[in-house]
Structure 1
Amino acid sequence: MSLRFRKKVLLAKIETTYGTDATPTGAANAMLASNISIQPMEGSDAERGHDQPFLGNDGTIPYDLHSRMTFQIELAGSGTAGTAPAWGPLLRACGAAETIAASTSVTYNPISDGFESATIYLNIDGTLYALLGARGTATFRVNASAIPIIEFEFTGLWTKPVAQALPTADVSAFQKPLVGSAANTPTFTIDGTGHVMRNFALMLGNEVEARFLIGAEAIEIIDRAETLETQIEAVALSTLDPFALARDQGTVAVSLVHGKTAGSIATIAVPNAQVQRPGSPVEAQGIKEWPLNFAPKPVTGNDQWTLTLT
């Protein structure tokens, strides 16, 4: 019988001990994801290279095996202020701290040590692919006339895929998102001034390395360099002069608020974004727009960005 590629269940759970299977379940750890892709057996192949009295292949030995996975999660809160979203473990495994203020807010920000890891299961119609010790990076995207998303890319230690029945996945904790619009995205400011925005992307820029040594194998976050890109309606230079700011290595605060009701409001704040050289002006529906680029910089450390759910 043919196996259906669309029949997928994605599970993720923070590990207590690095690289030890946290055994996520469909009842407690299911993820409502889209555009899931997996490279199940990345690595290298060692050529044996024997000298022989004839021509032909000598075979290879695979080594440094690991897996990579990408997918998208809708950017929506838990529906209750002060309750972490179901996708919170994924962001924690991307080098972010989760701070909960009961009944008020959940805030995520980058960290520089003490990185958590996750066990991630992907079951495709009866075949289980498991990533252990998974760590990754993410991108927040909020675009006009589109569902806001978080794009995740994970690397994990390899385990051999096994046959396992599709689990029952409870994704009831995931809330319906709001499309980016003037009504649903009430605030977008650069240097404290509101702007008309077409698209927004904050890339966390984690540098993730698979590290294989004798005595230790791990997936490590070794560095990060966030980038922020947005396209806005061009304005008078007296309102915003990105060319002068880029010339002078000027920094500005960038803030975006998406959502309208308690439990579903997401605020992305970048308090110290260095303005970089703008892209070429573009025409959209007869209107001039600017592609702008920023390099988020630390102020006191681990504060390049925050995502606050209220």
Structure 2
Amino acid sequence: MPSFWRLQALLAKIETVYGTDPTPTGAANAILAEDVRVMPMEGQDVTRGFERPYMGARPTIAAGLHAKISFKVEVKGSGTAGTVPAIGVLLRSCAMAETIVAATSVTYNPVSSAHESCTIYFVNDGTNYLFKGARGTFKYVMSAQGVVYLEFEFTGLFTQPAALAMPTATYGTQLTQMPQVASSANTPTFTIGAVAAVLRSFSLDAGNKVTPRMLVRSESILITDRSEMIDMQIEAVPLATYNPFSLAAAGTAQAISLIHGTGAGKICTLSVPAAQVQRPTGLAEQDGITEWPLKFVPVPTSGNDQFTIAFT
């Protein structure tokens, strides 16, 4: 009997002790994910280098084993202001701190130490692909008239896949609360500096450097650095209104604000206090209109403040 790909459940739970499975459950820890891709046995194949009196392939030994999983989730709040969204566990495992203001907001910002980790279960038709000690990186991706996503990639310690009964996944508002597409009505604010720009596409790459560190007596997945980058495409305007060329030449930093969603508990605000304008490398055309593909580098000012993602 074959395994059916569409029969799958993704669960994630923060670890109290690194690499120790906290046993996520379908009732409390289900993640409504799309486009799941699993690389369950990454590593190296070490060739045995002995000599023989005949030709032929040499056997190998699997080493440095770890596992990767990528997927995307809809960007939306829990539906209740101040209540942690289901994707909070994922952001926390990507070197982000979580700050909760009761009945008001849940905000995530990058941190440089004491990184949390999670255990991820990917259960596919009765087979569990287990990712312990998982840490990762993500992209915030928006396109006009499309669903807004967070695209995650996690690396975890390798564990042999094992049989596991399909969990009963409870998705709550992840499923019942419809995502709001990026539009003028649903995305009321997008500014670069003091300019309200017309946006076609936007991407913030957290740029975490995720490193499997496989040593004797210590195996772990670490986030050892980060290098954020923003890509966007906006309508070109007169240079008197906004001049990315002079700003790039001067190395000027601009504040970027992107607010998506309407209604309490459904709003996501991405704030970048200081994003250095990079050299524009070309022009684009859509519908006979000139557009600017632009890049920005979020830079810290006092540290760990390159950007925040707030759900309100």
**TM bucket normalised to smaller:** over 0.9
- Counterpart of 1:303 in structure 2 is 305
Where does 1:238-253 land on structure 2 (aligned, <5 Å)?
238-253=240-255
Q: Distance in 2 between matches of 1:58 and 1:2?
A: 32
Q: Distance in 1 between matches of 2:127 and 2:194?
A: 51
Shift of 1:282: 0.9
- Counterpart of 1:212 in structure 2 is 214
- Counterpart of 1:194 in structure 2 is 196
Spell out, residue by residue over 1:223-280, the C-alpha distance to the aligned partner (whole angstroms, 9 max, x if none): 0000001111101101111001111111100100011111001100001000001131
Amino acid at match of 2:7: K
- Counterpart of 1:34 in structure 2 is 34
- Counterpart of 2:295 in structure 1 is 293
Q: Secondary structure of the residue that 1:27 maps to in structure 2?
A: helix
Contact 1:40–1:67 (CA<8 Å) still a contact in 2? Answer: yes
TM-score (norm 2): 0.98
- Counterpart of 2:233 in structure 1 is 231
Amino acid at match of 1:117: S
Q: Distance in 1 between matches of 2:134 and 2:281?
A: 35
- Counterpart of 1:281 in structure 2 is 283
Amino acid at match of 1:101: V
Shift of 1:163: 1.3
Q: Distance in 2 between matches of 1:142 and 1:187?
A: 13
Q: Distance in 2 between matches of 1:166 and 1:232?
A: 45
Amino acid at match of 2:149: I
Contact 1:86–1:173 (CA<8 Å) still a contact in 2? Answer: no
- Counterpart of 2:89 in structure 1 is 89
Q: Secondary structure of the residue that 1:28 maps to in structure 2?
A: helix
Where does 1:43-82 land on structure 2 (aligned, <5 Å)?
43-82=43-82
- Counterpart of 2:113 in structure 1 is 113
RMSD: 0.8
- Counterpart of 2:140 in structure 1 is 140
Shift of 1:49: 1.1
- Counterpart of 1:262 in structure 2 is 264
TM-score (norm 1): 0.99
- Sequence identity of aligned pairs in percent? 53
Amino acid at match of 2:296: F
Q: Distance in 1 between matches of 2:254 and 2:64?
A: 43
Q: Distance in 2 between matches of 1:230 and 1:137?
A: 19
Q: Distance in 2 between matches of 1:283 and 1:160?
A: 50
For structure 2, the residue ranges without an aligned partner over 5 or more in a row are: none
Amino acid at match of 2:297: A
Contact 1:122–1:128 (CA<8 Å) still a contact in 2? Answer: yes
Shift of 1:173: 3.5
- Counterpart of 1:177 in structure 2 is 179
Contact 1:85–1:173 (CA<8 Å) still a contact in 2? Answer: no
Q: Secondary structure of the residue that 1:100 maps to in structure 2?
A: strand
Q: Distance in 2 between matches of 1:182 and 1:11?
A: 34
Amino acid at match of 2:8: K
- Counterpart of 1:104 in structure 2 is 104
Shift of 1:50: 0.9
Q: Secondary structure of the residue that 1:253 maps to in structure 2?
A: strand
Q: Distance in 2 between matches of 1:133 and 1:79?
A: 29
- Counterpart of 1:163 in structure 2 is 163
Q: Distance in 1 between matches of 2:51 and 2:99?
A: 60
Q: Distance in 2 between matches of 1:309 and 1:177?
A: 14
Spell out, residue by residue over 1:186-230, the C-alpha distance to the aligned partner (whole angstroms, 9 max, x if none): 000000210110011110000000001111000000000000011
Q: Distance in 2 between matches of 1:89 and 1:137?
A: 13
Q: Distance in 2 between matches of 1:281 and 1:100?
A: 42
Contact 1:46–1:61 (CA<8 Å) still a contact in 2? Answer: yes
